[in-house]
Amino acid sequence: MDWQQLTALGIVGVTAGVFLWRWLKPRKLDFHRDTGCGCGDAGGPKPAFTVSGRKGESPRVAFKS
């Protein structure tokens, strides 16, 4: 085996090792996903209106009160 084959085999081995490590390492605790606490999404308030329409029609705006 010459040095180019050895280098290519080393690169493939390191890449496979990184993929295996990412797949096998323990994942971090995500409180919302792992406990199912039922907490609301922290994304903020939902919009109070929706805009809908079809192609060729005028858009309709619906307000929630």
- Domains: count for the chain: 1
Structural domain that includes position 11: 1-29
Q: Which pLDDT tens digit goes with each residue over 34-59?
A: 666 655 555 666 668 888 888 888 88
Please indicate, yes or no, if residue 58 is contained in any of the structural domains. Answer: no
Look at residue 54 and tell me if it is in a domain: no
Residue 15: inside a domain: yes
pLDDT tens for 2-35 read 999 999 999 999 999 999 988 887 777 766 666 6
Integer Cα distance of 39 and 25 in angstroms? 28
What pTM value is reported for the model?
Answer: 0.41
Per-residue b or e along 28-57, where b marks 16 or more CB atoms closer than 10 Å to that residue's CB: eeeeeeeeeeeeeeeeeeeeeeeeeeeeee
Q: Is residue 23 part of a domain?
A: yes
Residue 41: inside a domain, yes or no?
no
